[in-house]
Structure 1
Amino acid sequence: MAYDLLFSYWLFLWFVGYYFHIISYNPKLMFILAMIYISIIIVLMIYKNLSGIKIFIFLY
């Protein structure tokens, strides 16, 4: 499994645990850091002139 998918699933499970009061601390900081990380990756993909199809596959 790719690192980014593992990270995404982990964040999702953390949020679900927080939502149902299983985990007591808020995962908001990790969501913000993840969005910054994904934004940097997208900018680098555009900078390296990758095709739009590869960027679309990365996003979905």
Structure 2
Amino acid sequence: MFEQHSILVAWCEARDDFRNFRLDRIHSTSQLDLKYKRSRHALLTEWEALEGIKHKRILY
């Protein structure tokens, strides 16, 4: 499924876990003035470890 569609990986506060969302199924979005409890780098590093992704990453 993921090979054929663009996927958004996001932290879900309700489930306290990562979730995958197909971009073609998202109908609308809104930006909130809230911030993550953890840094973007920490979330990305944790997700990569869970998915078994091992590579050098360039942070922007």
TM-score normalised by L of structure 1: 0.31
Instruction: State the structure with bigger RCO (CA 8 A, min sep 6), 1 or 2.
Output: 2
Of Structure 1 and Structure 2, the greater helix share is in 1
TM-score normalised by L of structure 2: 0.31
Q: Flag the structure with larger Rg.
A: 1
